Amino acid sequence: MEKAQNRPQQQRGGAGRMPALQIVYGLRPVIEAIGSGQQIERILIQNGLNSSLLGELRAKMKEHDIPFQYVPVEKLNKMTTGNHQGVVATIGSVKYHSFMELVETLPENAMVVLLDHITDVRNMGAIARTAECTGVSALVVPDRGTAAMNEDAIKTSSGALLRLPVCREQNMKTVINLAKQYGYQIVAATEKGAEHYRRVDFRQPTLLILGNEETGISPDLLKLSDVRAKLPIVGEVASLNVSVAAGVFMYEALEQRQGAE
């Protein structure tokens, strides 16, 4: 049986080593890893793969809602020199939570940040780092179409992704509606907003939505927001990097909350 292969650990600026991101390769080992309950981050499948076990793997992925991607064989060859049989699974160090369960345990005036299909790993890590520094209670990400929580994201976050609760959810609208039931205001950070970000009352429980780097917040999520807040921009560039915008919003929330104490 083929075994999981540990990738080299990454260094984090003077604070010790990052946990290594493990990979499992080979059709049967990956199927068994899913069945054993391991935290599968993503599965990469070789383009045009034809195997009798592929149907079983697809069924397992569907059953456990595991994100997957078809890739050229060269990508898999770079990840391992072993006989991967056209399949490589990554097992992340980030532990995921259920928002439905987590929301009941959060502080009364909690700040939750929902990342709507943030695809850049460095942006993901930078946002997580600022979130941890500013007292954000949790991050929420979709289970598909988002940056992988891999060693690069963890390193960029300076380990914040290992300390901050992260919820990976299938339906973002369900998350927002549940947050509303718990009394959260839904604030969408968008250049199309009408409200200046400093006029938003962040002293109350808040779910802040940050959108994709290219397209912004999805229209169906934007419709569910209570407040559409914007940052003032006087230059010719139409928008800020999402991690920079996130930092401005989160520090504004922190300043308001500290002032209320």
How many Å apart are CA 168 and CA 141, to the nearest integer? 5
Question: In the chain, which segments carry CATH 3.40.1280.10?
Answer: 96-260
Quick one: average pLDDT of 16-27? 68
Say what the pTM is. 0.75
Domain 96-260 has CATH 3.90.1150.10: no
Question: In the chain, which segments carry CATH 3.30.1330.30?
Answer: 5-91
Q: State pLDDT tens for residues 58-91.
A: 999 988 888 899 999 999 999 988 899 999 998 8
How many Å apart are CA 156 and CA 116, to the nearest integer? 19
Q: State pLDDT tens for residues 113-146.
A: 999 999 999 999 999 999 999 999 999 999 888 8
Burial, 243: exposed, middle or buried (Cβ in 10 Å; 0-12, 13-18, 19+)? buried
Q: State pLDDT tens for residues 188-226.
A: 999 889 999 999 999 999 999 999 888 899 999 999 999
Pick the CATH number of 5-91 from 3.10.105.10, 3.40.1160.10, 3.30.1330.30, 3.40.50.720: 3.30.1330.30
The pair of structure tokens assigned to 256 is: 């308001």
